[in-house]
Chains A and B, each alone.
Chain A
Amino acid sequence: DIQMTQSPASLSASLGETVTIECRASEDIYSNLAWYQQKPGNSPQLLIYDANSLADGVPSRFSGSGSGTQYSLKINSLQSEDVASYFCQQYNNYPTFGAGTKLELK
């Protein structure tokens, strides 16, 4: 199985700040990476696929980048509605997820 190491596990940031979450794969996943947002009590929602493609309806302050084994999700100008947990997922092989990042407001 491909292991996904996500960091940080938790993050506290202020409104308007830029936030970056990272994921490292145990082997090259050739940009077969997605990011999801999960708000408390809700199911996950797709934010980014193919490492850098924005899913339909997702605000442009979200962006993804990376290649090989290293990937990141950036949130520009943090809004209150961005408080959530974020998960990366690789799909180069059987799907595996990162452990998640809980984002809170400072």
Chain B
Amino acid sequence: EVQLVESGEGLVQPGSSMKLSCVASGFTFSNYGMNWIRQAPKKGLEWIALIYYDSSSKYYADSVKGRFTISRDNSKNTLYLEMNSLRSEDTAMYYCAKFGVGGYFDFWGPGTMVTVSS
């Protein structure tokens, strides 16, 4: 059974940094691209970053480019999101999601909440 479990939930001040983790199980993690997707309270879904299966390529939404960094450790089956210069508009539930064969997301974690507030 595919499982994705995010961690790193918390309340931080504007301008600070935070790192999220997502531990994967139930599939060969090193074979699949992975993503971070976020959802602000009562809002829609926003894809923010993706990383190829071998970390050879990484892409970001304009809203986080230059501030967030996606990475992975295939030996630990873990995906990361390093978030710097956090803003109030970064407040959201953050989901990690596995790519299916195409560019759709076939499995999602339960999410971890990040709140940016003074």
A residues sitting closer than 8 Å to B (CB atoms) are 32, 34, 36, 42-46, 49-50, 55, 87, 89, 91-92, 94-100
Contact = CB atoms under 8 A, between A and B. Distances in A.
Interface of B: 35, 44-47, 50, 59, 61, 95, 100, 102-111
Contacts of B106: 46, 49, 55
Nearest to B109: A43
A95 B35 CA distance: 10
Given A34-B105, A89-B105, A95-B103, A43 B95 contact: yes
B104 A46 contact: yes
Q: Is chain A's interface secondary structure helix, strand, loop, or mixed overall?
A: loop
Contacts of A46: 100, 104-107
Contacts of A55: 106
B45 A49 contact: no
